[in-house]
A and B are shown apart, each in its own frame.
Chain A
């Protein structure tokens, strides 16, 4: 079974600085997707960025970028020029890309990292 681990329960960053959130995962599948979701105090789950495992190029969305290391099964999120609105819980998630005879299309989440942004 696939697992996702976020080893940093809480992180803090100064406004305008850069912060990196860590995520590792375990899978025997070769084709899958990885995601970072943001959950602000409103509790809405917001997709921040996604990475397809077969793509070597790291995904980027404005101030958010990932460092995807497939061999190491590592998927970290870098937030540049941090803003007060970035304060939230961040969840790393895994999803199988195709049917692997037992795997499912649901998301598997890590426990989350609570990010605080200091003004």
Chain B
């Protein structure tokens, strides 16, 4: 157990819908990363937050957004969902900006 929690474990929704994925980092970790794992694209970095502020962006679609709250948990919002958004979404956390990252168990999103 890495200490990073993600909810829900599984999510099934229809095209065009909006979902929110939640991540709670390890106690004391200020940095949260979101990654997407799909068959087509492999493991890709989406976005990073540090102590409530957005720090870095990767290949994140405009339909996707995220935020980190004062209690340091983070949410990834996916809207206008398409079939191609079906993937495993991982959250990882680290103490600082360039420290060891610990992965959560992931949220499996299926868009039908």
Q: Is the CB of A106 within 8 A of B103?
A: no
Smallest Cβ distance from B53 to chain A, in angstroms? 13
How does the 8 Å CB contact mask read for B23-43 relative to A, with 1 for contact and 0 for none?
Answer: 000000001010100000011
Which residues of B are in contact with A by a Cβ distance under 8 Å? 2, 31, 33, 35, 42-45, 48, 55-56, 58, 88, 90, 92, 94, 97-98, 100-103, 105-106, 108
Interface presence of A68 (CB below 8 A):
no
How does the 8 Å CB contact mask read for A33-71 relative to B, with 1 for contact and 0 for none?
Answer: 000000000111101001000000000000000000000
Q: How far is the CA of A37 from the CA of B27 in the complex (A)?
A: 22
Smallest Cβ distance from B67 to chain A, in angstroms? 17
Q: Which residues of B contact A111 (CB under 8 A)?
A: 42
Q: In this complex, what residue of A is CB-closest to B101? A: A107
User: Can you offer 5 A-B residue contacts whose CB atoms are under 8 A?
Assistant: A104-B45, A104-B48, A107-B45, A109-B43, A109-B44
**Contacts A95-B98, A98-B98, A112-B42 given: A105-B31 contact, CB under 8 Å?**
yes
Q: Which residues of A contact B33 (CB under 8 A)?
A: 106-107
Q: How far is the CA of A99 from the CA of B48 in the complex (A)?
A: 14
Chain B interface, DSSP helix/strand/loop, else mixed: strand
Q: Is the CB of A105 within 8 A of B98?
A: yes
- With an 8 Å Cβ cutoff, the count of chain A residues facing the other chain is 21
Q: Which residues of B contact A19 (CB under 8 A)?
A: none
Interface presence of A117 (CB below 8 A):
no
Q: Which residues of B contact A99 (CB under 8 A)?
A: 97-98
Q: Which residues of A contact B42 (CB under 8 A)?
A: 109-112
**Contacts A97-B98, A105-B31, A105-B98 given: A44-B45 contact, CB under 8 Å?**
no
Q: Is the CB of B43 within 8 A of A91?
A: yes
Q: In this complex, what residue of B is CB-closest to A112? A: B42
Q: Which residues of A contact B103 (CB under 8 A)?
A: 44-45
Of all A-B residue pairs in the complex, the 4 with the closest CB atoms, nearest first, are A45-B103, A104-B56, A109-B43, A106-B45
Q: How far is the CA of A96 from the CA of B101 in the complex (A)?
A: 13
Q: Is the CB of A105 within 8 A of B106?
A: no
Q: In this complex, what residue of B is CB-closest to A97? A: B98
Q: Which residues of A contact B102 (CB under 8 A)?
A: 47
